[in-house]
Structures are given as structure tokens and as C-alpha cells.
């Protein structure tokens, strides 16, 4: 009986492994790649029109050009032709989890319309998807809490796209951009002048008091 149970358990594990392979999922202690598609053509694509390889880096370093952000990608816009096989090398340069996820892809190829890459810490992973036969702009981002809100988002244009998405750093502005400029309104000018006079008066009083 014990041998039968062990045999059934092993068969179950093998079936799960085969299912994961066909679902385009790979995972390990490094992270995961989900909903990968290397061969199946999107509707309307007669063949693979071409192949492209890109490298996307993620980390705090790429937030520096954009005030008000903490995380970022090395690139915030990607332009691909239709029906093209894209090989993505995703590099995490931080010691925390980062993701590169594309949303809105055909659900018959990608469950929930999502292509997902994730690294638990520093390292890199490679994944593949095939662009649809449509002119559309897709959202790419990190889904870890507050990472997208703090700058880790991009847009993927296929066939030229259909416009820009909002608040893409360096492309369409930022919703949470910090402003460091001086407000030279009348109220601020009067307040600055009053503080200057108060400071000057205090210095004169202190100087006279020390001279006695």
C-alpha cells in the first residue's frame, strides 16, 4: 500500500511538472518566469516576423533622474514590431524583490493577459513572449507594493502603439513628482522679509548687549 501511494505521489509530481512547462512557468530560489510563450502564434500572425532581444535593469539607481521616485527601470518605453518574438533579460540590481510584468496581452496565450518575470534579489532571468498582431500600448510595471507608485513602470508599444500611458517616468510625466522650486508669491515674500528683519534685529540686539 505504501509503495502504491508513493508511486501515485511521484506520478502526480510529474504531471504537475509537465503542466508547469506547458503553462510557460519556471521558478526556483532565484525567482520565477510565468506565462512565457516561445512558439504559439498570436491570432492574425502567419509566422514569426522577426526576433529581438532586450535587457531591462531594475533598481534604485534608475530613479535618480526622476525626483519623487524611489525605484525605476533602465528604460521606460519599448517599441516592438507586430508578431515578433521578444527575448527579455531581466536584471535586478537591488537586494529586494523586483518584477517586470506586462499586462493586457491576449488571454488565450497568457493567463490573465500577463507576462511575468520576478527576481527575489540580485540576479537575472530570461523570458520570451511574442507580440500580438495589433497596434497597442501595454503597461509594464512591478507589482510589489508601492514599487509602481514610486516609479517602477514603463510602457510597451507594439506596432507603434495607440498613445502614451499616464505617469510614465520620462515619457508622460509623473503623478507624484516633487517640486523643489521657490514659491515667490506675495505672502511668501512678506514672510521672508519679516523673518529677515527679525533675524537682523536679533543680531543687532545681541551685538549691543555684548558691547555693554
Give a yes or no: residue 178 inside a domain: no
The whole-number average pLDDT for the span 189-199 is 87
Give a yes or no: residue 4 inside a domain: no
Q: Are 155 and 140 in contact (CB under 8 A)?
A: yes
Give a yes or no: residue 74 inside a domain: yes
CATH code for the domain of 130:
2.60.40.420
pLDDT at 17: 43
pLDDT at 178: 52
Query: Is this structure's pTM higher than 0.95?
Result: no
- For 47-66, write each residue's pLDDT tens digit: 999 999 999 999 999 999 99
C-alpha cell at 137: 500600448
pLDDT at 6: 54
Give a yes or no: residue 63 inside a domain: yes
Cα 112–Cα 113–Cα 117 angle in degrees, nearest 5? 95
pLDDT at 117: 98
Give a yes or no: residue 99 inside a domain: yes
Q: Which domain holds residue 47?
A: 29-158
- CA-based nearest residue to 119, from 146, 151, 139, 91: 91
Instruction: Kindly tell me if the per-residue pLDDT of 199 is higher than 90.
Output: no
The whole-number average pLDDT for the span 68-90 is 97
Give a yes or no: residue 109 inside a domain: yes
Q: State the Cα–Cα distance between residues 142 and 102, nearest whole angstrom.
A: 9
For residue 68, how many C-alpha atoms fall within 13 Å in the half-sphere facing its CB? Answer: 14
pLDDT confidence tier of residue 176, bands split at 50, 70 and 90:
low
Give a yes or no: residue 142 inside a domain: yes
Q: How many domains does the chain have?
A: 1
- Backbone angles phi and psi of 128, in degrees to 5: -135, 140
Amino acid at each position: 500500500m505504501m509503495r502504491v501511494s508513493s508511486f501515485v505521489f511521484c506520478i502526480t509530481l510529474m504531471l504537475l511538472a509537465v503542466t508547469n512547462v506547458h503553462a510557460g512557468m519556471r521558478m526556483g530560489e532565484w525567482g520565477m518566469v510565468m506565462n512565457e510563450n516561445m512558439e504559439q502564434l498570436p491570432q492574425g500572425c502567419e509566422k514569426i516576423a522577426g526576433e529581438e532581444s532586450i535587457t531591462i535593469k531594475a533598481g534604485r539607481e534608475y530613479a535618480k533622474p526622476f525626483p519623487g521616485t524611489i525605484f525605476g527601470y533602465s528604460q521606460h518605453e519599448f517599441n516592438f514590431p507586430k508578431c515578433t518574438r521578444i527575448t527579455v533579460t531581466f536584471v535586478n540590481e537591488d537586494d529586494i524583490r523586483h518584477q517586470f510584468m506586462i499586462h493586457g496581452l491576449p488571454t488565450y496565450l497568457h493567463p490573465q493577459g500577463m507576462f511575468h518575470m520576478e527576481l527575489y534579489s540580485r540576479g537575472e532571468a530570461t523570458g520570451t513572449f511574442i507580440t500580438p498582431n495589433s497596434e497597442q500600448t501595454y503597461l509594464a510595471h512591478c507589482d510589489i507594493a508601492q514599487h509602481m507608485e514610486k516609479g517602477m513602470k514603463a510602457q510597451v508599444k507594439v506596432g507603434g502603439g495607440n498613445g502614451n500611458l499616464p505617469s510614465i517616468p520620462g515619457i508622460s510625466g509623473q503623478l507624484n513628482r516633487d517640486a523643489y522650486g521657490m514659491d515667490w508669491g506675495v505672502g511668501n515674500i512678506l514672510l521672508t522679509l519679516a523673518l529677515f528683519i527679525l533675524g537682523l534685529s536679533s543680531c543687532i540686539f545681541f551685538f549691543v548687549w555684548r558691547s555693554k
